[in-house]
Structure 1
């Protein structure tokens, strides 16, 4: 695989960069805040689903559809943002996405007055978050490679993106729910922290240099591997080892955020919003806690992290079924934590594989494909809502757990076969 990532000089022209001794290993911290803003924007709405049902009178089907329409914006945001970041650079895509995300939040704040604005607000939230993920993940990975000294491996760079994203997920939902529970005009004031975080992320990212390899000076030795050969191999590996796992990355937390609270909140008596916020905090927090475990698993076997993540998701879905069958909020919290652990393992696995497989000039493109497949999982609550017309929620959750185990078996088989062929 060719390696021709060069760092950029802050004073260099925008389309041509030159090597520098700047400590780029610190710049990834600045770029990381855009990932936190993306996670926050996605999850702040999740904790307010109960409030929209009770205060605005929206039906469960409507609120679940609003939750899912985010994915319809996320897909084009990812599929367009990734290739655009490879061609034009990470910085312009990130700043455009931050502005789009802030506009979306403003539309959501106007939702209590004009409920129709919730639809474009959620759609634009998806576009902004998708473009941030595509460009931001690639930016952090490249800025994790200093011009001199020891570079961070693909696993470390992937975990950095996942840490910031999970921090945004965990904080956004909890903050929105606490504000909605006690602050005046809750469905307006709950969104203010995201605007503040977006401005802070923009200020931090403004100090980080461009890092896209396509915009840097490439040395002749950088073409050691045939692009066609490398791209074909990468695409095949991506289809076999990454694509099957990707939808489970966000199917797991989406079930915890949008499905579980409504199945167990009969005895909460006015604390439904806070409970939903606690779940939206516990789930990604568990994803953060499994990061060291993900590192050890990856050192043992290439697919161990992904397989363990799918196993955790299957267990979490079974626990969710038990919680729903017995209306047990405490068991639901445990299920959310297990689902969050599965999410953390799967996202670390997916981003690490993408960082290994992608040629430098196509890193954002392949990253965007991973995130696009991952965010398909966000429609899981809507599918569950539709299926409840035919089956009980516990049986649907058990069926989902069985599907996760089938995916696990397929990935384990394909990964083992690849290892045998590699040797």
Structure 2
């Protein structure tokens, strides 16, 4: 009788381990969506803060930028923490900080000074989530947890979840702010609900870092192997991941909203949805370009970003909201291509024990692009906005020239 149970157990066991595998990375993906949502819900409310709280354009863009002051240290610390303590623990801690930040932002109408720590902690939570969450999704996408065909495909999934959060967070906040009472309080409620749902889902995903992983001698010498190609191939492109979207969110709407007559907040929300939405739509193109050569994805991203900036300059010169919306779509497409390139390159360069750390460096350099709107605000005292946007487009093209210089063209196609 015991013998008759043995084959059944042996046959059933593989089915039990294989069937749920594709769902694990989806459970963790909600964390990345929540991160994107938290970062972008404020972006579509810039006009509302100026109108209802009397904040100046310089103050709102400074609040936009202070996010980076919390994000970059969290990114750099989150990678080593995720390697030591595990992906799930660090990612859930980042989600908790992000929810706390949202609560502080909700108190802004009553105590405007709390907007500053709210935005700072938004950056801390997002940085922690980006590092731990993106690596966790990549690992859950690969064997033995998932079935992603290549490391690059697994790495790009976190960027798709992030884009989905970016696209929906800003739009939802703007629609609530346009028509609901207490707009700068209720606009943040959806993020709290999403965070709770993401935490419940991610808690069921397996941890991919073994408990108390031993420190082997292999970890030390592996670091210099990827340092030089990272500087040559990733660092030049990384700031353009968010430079274009940040300009689309924080600068373009304010340059063309004179003709919108009461629809400024909704328009800003549409921009914050269209920009990362375009990044999602170019994902198939990014896969095809990456299959040919990874640098092709970066080159396309920089070219599209430059085109979006030039169109944005034209839209600003003539105060054309429709042209600015098309420019935002191009900037979003550039974002999608650049982030796909960066995550794919990092996945190819980093050994497993350095993946979280190198991913953190990529996101840290990428988020420097969020400082661009503040730079535009500072320069606008001496130059017209269309001239500034044209100058930024020239910088994107110069970056492309640096990337394609002979010394950097050794990057091989993905196998």
Q: Please, what TM-score do these two structures have when normalized by structure 2?
A: 0.92
**Counterpart position of 2:359:** 367
Q: Select the residue among 123, 126, 132 that pairs with 1:126.
A: 123
Q: Secondary structure at the match of 1:65?
A: helix
Deviations for 1:371-408, whole angstroms, at most 9, x for unmatched residues?
00000000100000000011100000000000000001
What is the distance in 2 between the residues matched to 1:386 and 1:279? Answer: 23
2:389 maps to 1:397: yes
State whether residues 219 and 353 of structure 2, in contact with CA within 8 Å, keep that contact through their aligned partners in structure 1. Answer: no
Give the alignment partner of residue 240 of structure 2, picking from 239, 248, 267. Answer: 248
Asked if 2 retains the 8 angstrom alpha-carbon contact of 1:213 and 1:361, the reply is: no
Which residue of 1 is the match for residue 35 of structure 2?
38
Aligned to 2:191: 194
Counterpart of 2:326 in structure 1 is 334
Partners of 1:37 and 1:49 lie apart in 2 by 20
Structure 1 residue 149 displacement after superposition: 8.3
Query: CA distance change for structure 1 residues 329 and 361 in 2, over 3 Å: closer, same or farther?
Result: same
Residue in structure 2 matching 1:232, options 216, 224, 232: 224
> What is the CA distance between 1:162 and its match in structure 2?
1.1
Written as runs of structure 1 = structure 2, the 5 A alignment for 1:81-120 is 81-120=78-117
Distance 1:419 1:31 in 2: 31
**CA distance change for structure 1 residues 62 and 399 in 2, over 3 Å: closer, same or farther?**
same
Which stretch shows the higher mean deviation, 131-140 or 299-308? 299-308
Question: Structure 1 stretch 37-46 or stretch 82-91: which is displaced more?
Answer: 82-91
- How far apart are residue 154 of structure 1 and its match? 1.8
Q: Which residue of 2 aligns with 1:261?
A: 253
User: Matched residue pairs, number?
Assistant: 396
Counterpart-to-counterpart distance in 2, 1:315 and 1:25: 38
Where does 1:128-207 land on structure 2 (aligned, <5 Å)?
A: 128-147=125-144, 151-207=148-204
Q: Against the structure 1 CA distance between its residues 409 and 88, is the aligned structure 2 distance closer, same or farther, given a 3 Å change threshold?
A: same
1:313 aligns with 2:305: yes
Please list the CA deviations of residues 62-102 of structure 1 after superposition, one character each: whole Å capped at 9, or x if unmatched.
00000000011111110111110011110111111111000
Distance of 2:370 and 2:309 partners within structure 1: 15
Q: Is the 8 A contact 1:25 1:146 kept in 2?
A: no
The change in CA–CA distance for 1:249 and 1:100 in structure 2 (over 3 A counts) is: same
- Pairing partner for 1:295 from 284, 287, 291: 287
CA distance in 1, matches of 2:283, 2:146: 24
Question: Offset at 1:363?
Answer: 1.0
Aligned in 2, Cα 1:46/1:414: closer, same or farther, shift over 3 Å? Answer: farther
Q: From the superposition, tell whether residues 215 and 74 of structure 1 become closer, same or farther in structure 2 (CA, over 3 Å).
A: same
Question: SS at 1:50's partner residue?
Answer: helix
2:13 counterpart of 1:21: no
Contact conserved, 2:67 with 2:122, CA < 8 A, in 1? yes
Q: Offset of 1:228 from its aligned partner? A: 4.7
Find out whether 1:270 has 2:267 as its counterpart.
no
Residue 6 (structure 1) aligns with: none
CA distance in 1, matches of 2:406, 2:363: 21
Residue of structure 1 equivalent to 2:4: none
Structure 2 counterpart of 1:62, from 30, 54, 59? 59
Distance 1:419 1:183 in 2: 51
- How far the C-alpha of 1:226 sits from its partner, in A, is 5.3
Aligned CA distance change for structure 1 residues 316 and 360 (closer, same or farther; 3 Å): same
Residue 212 of structure 1 deviates from its aligned partner by: 2.2
Listed one character per residue, the Cα deviations across residues 195-240 of structure 1 (whole Å, up to 9, x for unaligned) are: 000000000100001112675689xxxx9x9545532121111100
- Return the alpha-carbon distance in structure 2 between the equivalents of residues 309 and 165 of structure 1: 17
Question: How far did 1:156 drift?
Answer: 1.1
Unaligned runs of 5+ in 1: 1-19
With over 3 angstroms needed to count, the CA separation of the structure-2 counterparts of 1:279 and 1:415, relative to structure 1, is: farther
Check 1:389–1:32 CA distance in 2 against 1; reply closer, same or farther (3 A cut). same
The offset of 1:312, in angstroms, is: 0.6
Partners of 1:200 and 1:194 lie apart in 2 by: 10
Pairwise CA distance, 1:158: 2.1
Q: Deviations over 1:255-296 (max 9, x none)?
A: 000000000000111100000000000000000000000000
Could you tell me which of 375, 399, 410 is aligned with 2:402?
410
SS of residue matched to 1:48: helix
